[in-house]
Amino acid sequence: MTDLPLMNMVQALNSALREEMRRNPRIVVLGEDVGRRGGVFLVTDGLIDEFGAERVIDTPLTELGIVGVAVGMALYGLKPVAEIQFIDFIYEALDQLLSEAAKIRRRTGGMYSAPIVVRGPCCGGVRGGMFHSQSPESYFVHTPGLITIMPSTPYDAKGLLKSALRSEDPVVFLEPKILYRTVREEVPEEDYVVPIGKARVAKEGSDVTVVTWGAMVYQALEAAKLVKARHGWDVEVIDLRTLFPFDKDAILESLEKTGRLMVVHEAPRTLGLGAEIAAYVAENAIDMLRAPIKRVTGFDAPFPLVHEKLYMPNVARIYMGLSKLMKY
Amino acid sequence: MGSRFYSTDWPFREYSLDDIGFDLRRALGLYRVIDEEGEQVGDFDVDVDRLLEMYVYMVRARILDDWLLRLQRVGKVALHAPNKGQEAVGVGAAMALDGGDWLFPSYRELGAYLVKGMSEEEILDRAIANIDDILRGSEFAVYGKRSVNLVPAPVPVGNQAPHAVGAAMAAKILGHRTVVMAIFGDGATSRGHFHAALNFAGVFKAPVVFVVQNNQWAISLPSRRQTASVTFAVKGVAYGVPSVRVDGNDVLAVYTIAREAVERARRGEGPTLVEAVTYRMGPHTTADDPDKYRDPGEVKLFEKLDPIIRFKKFLYKKGFLDEDQDRRIWEEWSSRIEDTVKKCYNKPPLPVDVILENVYSKPTWNLLEQYEELKESLEIIRELGLEVD
Ligand SMILES: Cc1ncc(C[n+]2csc(CCOP(=O)(O)OP(=O)(O)O)c2C)c(N)n1
Ligand SMILES: [Mg+2]
């Protein structure tokens, strides 16, 4: 056995793009500063040197242009990867993403489809303020026709991006920027994929199921350690990875064991994905539950510049929620 | 030229370039009052006191910019977008406004904030996001103050362009003589917001002045790759908006053309677009690494075109300023701003509950519930000795 290289998430994403671009000459990358600059987080670093400016395209500054043009490229037969410099800037492109990319298969009777990949850094924790910290996954999950993914580890980031690049449906690929360089792990250099729609059990446990994704996986793991030490409670942490279509079976299987459900996400609570997961479980598996479902989420306010760690779910708030569930 | 031109509406009317109503060539040229050597090459109508006032504003912006960089480096400020080398644009444009006029700036216009009436202390409190931050810790790198009609910039670049048009239309509807100005970068002209704004401004003859601050870069994209237009100013022409390109490192050129635009707007003659060509001497922001995409030699070249040095040469040549006075201006403002930095540095942080305020005019039930959750979490953090904030 040879040692696998240690990679952070940026390197893992970069290697996924590189390998897939070698495999599939129809993949092109476009976005603001993705070429010479290599992206502001360097996810596309060096790609322009290997694949040239025709396939790694520095675009003018307009998200609606980037996504709209990507849709057109996909209709013609390319596989475009549109980088949104910070996912907070996607809103100008929502008409193209929600009205066009998501609906074009249906609207054209299945004649055309636009399986673009829209990827970009999301979520908080880096003092990014209101427009460099958001978690807008609900808009995408709510829109029929889109797949939404958010990895939490370098291994999954590479494997899931590869799946996205082979998907026949449009994918929104959200990368928690706080994890770009803070987690390193062994990542294979040869080909592998992580399937879309499959969750990962980040930690096994028997008392409570915590369903979460992105950087919140690590907060949940921290809190799990804390309650184990203080109370002996055994928390199972499920990293959803694919936010839609989410892995309902993994959630139900875990609940069969634990009978208690908590959902943790950074996005604001109201109509966050936690609401859909809670509703799904309430409709289909309420008899498994021993306590009311608990959500620990970002508050229903725009993301702040100051005190962001108090705005986002933190160990204390997850601890509070777990206590309520266990003491119910 | 011999070609014939026809109007858009049926039946097509034949017209000549003179019928357009403004001089197209001004969008292609480069208006100047002072050349690189500080020689006067154009007309201006500004008295000496006001010239010196302009100079002092540029000096203040430069000194403050340097402090914001330093404060970011020690972690006191989250992010800064340096203004260095572009002072003539913000100062020249904002000085063209009258007191009651409105300004919708971008995030890189320290000079304009100062001119409009935000003090160094208010800017520093904002940058540090301390207890006196006017924007209550909501966002980084943007500045504004309602009492002087300075509307804080949105971080999505150029979103403010249609706001400026709407405010100008509102002023017109209400019968006010207010003029509204928007300042944004070359990159922002690629966004849909810019095009909607220009179109509305032209159609409704809104009393608005657009200032395109063309610093020749949008992060790593040089402006020749941002657009295939020969200048940014010609974009205004397409919308029927008189447009003028000026040397943005010449504060008197910026001021003169901006003032002409403001007066035109106030007379009810509609919008103007001013492209001010300048140069971003620093990195895009403190998070950027320009060596990856820009030849440092280029920066050296533009250091010679520094707008402050150019204006100083002009003032010397005219006998409006001498070396001794100049040294005193720099010394005075360096020490005043340093004192202000010290004062702002040690102010306490904003209280925790700001993260839930100003969402609605009055908090809704969910926010009240979440406020309780926040308070409880602070108790748990204390009780368990957790390190969170
Ligand atoms: C809608 C949007 N997309 C992307 C960004 C990220 N971004 C911040 S500034 C910038 C470049 C802006 O260039 P320009 O408009 O020329 O202004 P400058 O920074 O040069 O003053 C980019 C891409 C943003 N703030 N808003
Ligand atoms: Mg620019």
Do the interacting molecules here have an ipTM over 0.90? yes
Which one of A134, A152, A186 terminates a domain? Answer: A186
**Mean pLDDT of the residues in chain A:** 97
- Asked if A160 and A60 sit in the same domain, the reply is yes
- Residues from chain B that touch A92, judged by Cβ atoms under 8 A, are 156, 191-193
State residue B19's pLDDT score: 81
How many Cα atoms sit within 13 Å of B263 on the Cβ side?
Answer: 8
Instruction: Note whether B389 contacts A33, CB cutoff 8 Å.
Output: no
- Closest atom of ligand 1 to B213 CA is 21
Question: For residue range A145-201, what is the model confidence (pLDDT) as tens digits?
Answer: 999 999 999 999 999 999 999 999 999 999 999 999 999 999 998 899 999 999 999
Contact B220 A37 (CB under 8 A): yes
- In this structure, is residue A214 part of a structural domain? yes
Pairing assessment for the beta strands B243-247 and A242-244 based on DSSP bridges: unpaired
| Residue in B80, B125, B190, B375 to test binding to A, most A beta-carbons within 10 Å | B190
B362 touches chain A (CB under 8 A): no
Tell me which residue of B385, B356, B384 sits closest to B372, measured CA to CA.
B356
Q: B382 CB near a chain A CB, below 8 Å?
A: no
Scanning chain B, the segments in alpha helix (DSSP H) are: 48-73, 87-95, 110-116, 120-128, 160-173, 192-204, 223-226, 233-238, 251-266, 296-303, 307-318, 323-345, 365-384
Q: Helix crossing, B87-95 with B251-266: angle to 10°?
A: 30
- Does B48 touch chain A if contact means CB atoms closer than 8 Å? no
Give the residue-averaged pLDDT of A99-125: 98
Q: Does B354 touch chain A (CB under 8 A)?
A: yes
Inform me whether the C-beta atom of residue A60 falls under 8 Å from chain B C-beta atoms.
yes
- A270 part of contact set with chain B, CB < 8 Å: yes
- Amino acid of residue B110: L
Return d(Cα B69, Cα A148) in angstroms, integer.
38
Per-residue pLDDT 10s for chain B (389 aa) are 456 788 878 888 888 887 888 999 999 999 999 999 999 999 999 999 999 999 999 999 999 999 999 999 999 999 999 999 999 999 999 999 999 999 999 999 999 999 999 999 999 999 999 999 999 999 999 999 999 999 999 999 999 999 999 999 999 999 999 999 999 999 999 999 999 999 999 999 999 999 999 999 999 999 999 999 999 999 999 999 999 999 999 999 999 999 999 999 999 999 999 999 999 999 999 999 999 999 999 999 999 999 999 999 999 999 999 999 999 999 999 999 999 999 999 999 999 999 999 999 999 999 999 999 999 999 999 999 999 98
Q: Residue A3: is its pLDDT beyond 90?
A: no
CB-CB contact of B201 with B117 (8 Å): no
Q: Indicate the number of domains in chain B.
A: 2
Radius of gyration of chain A (CA): 20
Contact B273, B243 (CB under 8 A): yes
- How far does B141 lie from chain A, in Å, by closest CA? 9
Please give the pLDDT value at position B8.
79
Please check whether residues A231 and A151 belong to one and the same domain.
Answer: no
Q: Which residue of A has its CA nearest to B389?
A: A309
pLDDT at A270: 98
A38: region left, alpha or beta (phi > 0 left; psi from -120 to 50 alpha): left
The DSSP annotation for B220-255 comes to TEEHHHH-SSS-SHHHHHHTT--EEEEETT-HHHHH
β-bridge partners, B31:
B246
Same domain, B261 and B358: no
Same domain flag for A37 and A174: yes
Q: Are A239 and A152 in contact (CB under 8 A)?
A: yes
What is the chain B residue with the closest CA to A38?
Answer: B292
How many CB atoms lie under 10 A from the CB of residue B199?
16
The verdict on a CB contact (< 8 Å) between A305 and B138 is yes
Which residues of A are known catalytic residues? 132
- Please tell me whether residues B332 and B370 are part of one structural domain: no
Domain containing residue A249 = 200-327
Q: Angle at the Cα of A87 (from A84 to A91), degrees rounded to 5?
A: 90
Residues of chain B in contact with residue A131, where contact means CB-CB under 8 angstroms, are 139, 154-156
| Contact assignment for B355 to A269 by CB distance below 8 Å | no
Distance, CA of A280 to chain centre: 20
For residue B85, the 8-state DSSP code is T
**CATH number for position A271:** 3.40.50.920
Q: Best interface-test mutation with A: which of B71, B128, B155 has the largest number of A CBs within 10 A?
A: B155
Instruction: Look up the domain containing B291 and give its range.
Output: 20-345
Give the Cα separation of B244 and B237 in Å (integer).
9
pLDDT at residue A2 in the model = 63
pLDDT digits (tens, 9 = 90+) for A243-295: 999 999 999 999 999 999 999 999 999 999 999 999 999 999 999 999 999 99
Rounded (10°) angle between helices A154-165 and A9-23: 30
Whose CA is closest to A182, among A224, A223, A218? A218
Residues A144 and A50 in one domain: yes
Q: Do A316 and B384 touch (CB under 8 A)?
A: yes
Angstrom distances, CA of residue A76 to CA of A62, A71, A105? 21, 9, 14
Per-window interface: B 279-318 vs A, CB < 8 A: 287-288, 292-293
Residues of A in contact with B367 (CB under 8 A): 299-301
Q: Are residues B334 and B376 in the same domain?
A: no
B353 to chain A: nearest residue by CA? A307
A127: CATH: 3.40.50.970
Shared-domain flag, residues A25 and A174 = yes
Give percent above pLDDT 90 in chain A: 98
What one-character DSSP code corresponds to residue A97? I
Q: Same structural domain for residues A78 and A35? A: yes
Determine the residue of chain A that is closest to B380 in CA distance.
A316
Residues A11 and A153 occupy one common structural domain? yes
Residues B357 and B284 in one domain: no
Find the Cα–Cα–Cα–Cα dihedral A47, A53, A55, A59, rounded to 10°.
100
- Between CA A94 and CA A81 the distance in angstroms is 16
Chain B interface mutation, best of A33, A180, A306, highest count of B Cβ atoms under 10 Å: A306
pLDDT at B9: 81
Give the Å distance between the CA of A43 and the centre of ligand 2: 23
Residues A210 and A130 in one domain: no
Q: What is the CATH number of the domain that holds B173?
A: 3.40.50.970
Instruction: Measure A27 CA to ligand 1 centroid, in angstroms.
Output: 26
Cis geometry, peptide bond prior to residue A245 (ω within 30 degrees of 0) = yes
Quick check: is B5 in a domain? Answer: no
Report pLDDT for B1: 47
* pLDDT at site A260: 98
Q: Which residues of B are annotated as catalytic? A: 280, 284, 293
Q: Please check whether residue A194 lies inside any domain of the structure.
A: no
Which protein residue's CA is at the shortest distance from atom 8 of ligand 1? Answer: B157
Q: What residues are in contact with ligand 1 under a 6 Å CB criterion?
A: A 32, 61, 63, 85, 89, 92; B 108, 155-157, 185-188, 213, 215, 217-219, 280, 284
Atom of ligand 1 nearest to the CA of B191: 1
Q: Which residues of chain A neighbour B364 with C-beta distances below 8 Å?
A: 300
**pLDDT value of residue B11:** 83
Q: Which residue of B has its CA nearest to A304?
A: B138
- State the distance from the centre of ligand 2 to the C-alpha of A67, rounded, in angstroms: 22
Question: Which ligand 1 atom lies nearest to the CA of residue B156?
Answer: 26
DSSP code per residue over A9-61: HHHHHHHHHHHHHHH-TTEEEEETT-STT--TTSTTTTHHHHH-TTTEEEPPS
CA of B339 to the centre of ligand 1 (A): 32
Q: Do A118 and A207 fall into the same domain?
A: no
Please give the model's pTM, rounded to 2 decimal places: 0.97
Q: Closest by alpha carbon to A293, among A282, A302, A301?
A: A282
Mutate to test the pocket of ligand 1, among B83, B106, B140, B157 (most ligand atoms within 8 A of CB): B157
What part of B 143-182 touches A (C-beta under 8 Å)?
A: 154-157
- Mean pLDDT score, A61-80: 98
DSSP B348: P
On whether both A173 and A277 belong to a single domain, the answer is no
Same domain membership, residue A216 and residue A68: no
Do A222 and A133 fall into the same domain?
no
Q: Are residues B255 and B375 in the same domain?
A: no
**Same-domain check for residues B176 and B295:** yes
Residues of A in contact with B226 (CB under 8 A): 60-61
DSSP-assigned letter for residue A236: E
Question: Quick count: other Cβ atoms within 10 Å of Cβ B348?
Answer: 8
State the pLDDT at residue B158: 98
How many CB atoms lie under 10 A from the CB of residue B131?
A: 14
Question: Chain B partners of A130 at a C-beta cutoff of 8 Å?
Answer: 138-139, 155
Phi and psi, residue B333, nearest 5°: -75, -30
Q: Give me the phi and psi of A171, to 5 degrees please.
A: -125, 135
